[in-house]
Amino acid sequence: MSRHFTMEERAWHAWLEPAGPDTASAAQREAYETSVWPHSPYFRLLAWHPGSLSARTALDRAIFLTRGGLPRGDRELAATVASRVNGCELCASVHARFTATFLRDAEAVERLLSEGPEAELPARSRAIVDAAAALTATPIAFGAHHVAALREAGLSDPDIADVIQATAFFAWANRLMLSLGAPAAPSGADAEALGDQRAADDAAAEASPASRALTNGQNVSAQIS
């Protein structure tokens, strides 16, 4: 099957019936309503087992939305690489957009999507991409030389642990998504699910360094005036 990697929005259609308002128990509804994307057929499908979905949601947020540690753009870069290597179009598009937002280098992200992990990238990103690509392909391909390269690129040991966690999470999450459905070009029927993606994009833009810098500048101007 050919793959289409892009930063444009992609939909996802389930092969199994997702839970919904008329079929889900109270616990199942709560699990998908508090998930990353409440209207996504993917998360509604996972909600048939609400405990595991809730655990997945908590782990996702802990790895990617925590303050401190490795900058979020680098975590999103690792997730993008894992998704590109695994062939998960939806996850690649979503996390590529996040990466471009936080690293402010859309051209490099586009090259990564188009050419794969071999694309020409800045040195720090190169070390992260090489490590994430190796770990995603097979854990034994990741080794001490990747750790050394990450240290040489300026990452601390806690930062390197964050790279590994972000990559490992999506190495698993991609495989789960690819086993339960398939990516698709968006249509009107995907409007609610796409709304979740757009809300996440908006939240990322508001949390990005550029947005924070603008807000801080406005606050300073207000104080001066």
For residue 165, what is the domain's CATH number?
A: 1.20.1290.10
How many distinct structural domains can be found in the chain? 1
CB atoms within 10 A of CB 3: 10
**Burial class of residue 35, CB neighbours in 10 A (0-12, 13-18, 19+):** buried
Q: Which residue has better confidence, 80 or 221?
A: 80
Q: Which residue would you say has higher pLDDT here, 32 or 217?
A: 32
pLDDT at 209: 76
pLDDT computed for residue 67 by the predictor:
78
Domain carrying residue 82? 11-202
Is residue 75 included in any domain, yes or no?
yes
In angstroms, rounded to a whole number, what is the distance separating the alpha carbons of residues 45 and 43?
A: 5
Residue range 159-201, pLDDT digits in tens: 999 999 999 999 999 999 999 999 999 999 999 999 999 999 9
Residue 214 in any domain: the answer is no
- Residue 224 located in a structural domain: no
Query: How far apart (Å, rounded) are the C-alpha atoms in residues 5 and 10?
Result: 9
Q: Residue 3's pLDDT band (boundaries 50, 70, 90)?
A: confident
Q: Which of 11-20, 37-46, 120-129, 211-220 has the lowest mean pLDDT?
A: 211-220
Does residue 223 lie in a domain region? no
Q: What is the pLDDT of residues 27-74, one digit of tens each?
A: 999 999 999 999 999 999 999 999 999 999 999 999 999 878 999 999
Among the listed residues 117, 35, 37, the one whose alpha carbon sits nearest the alpha carbon of residue 78? 117
In a domain, 103, yes or no: yes
Global pTM value: 0.91
Domain assignment present for 213: no
pLDDT of residue 215 exceeding 70: no
Closest CA to 65 of 26, 102, 14: 102
- Does residue 21 lie in a domain region? yes
Please give the mean pLDDT across all residues of the chain.
93
pLDDT at 214 over 60: no
Q: Can you read off the two tokens belonging to residue 77?
A: 């870069």
Q: What is the pLDDT of residue 66?
A: 84
Does 41 map to a domain? yes
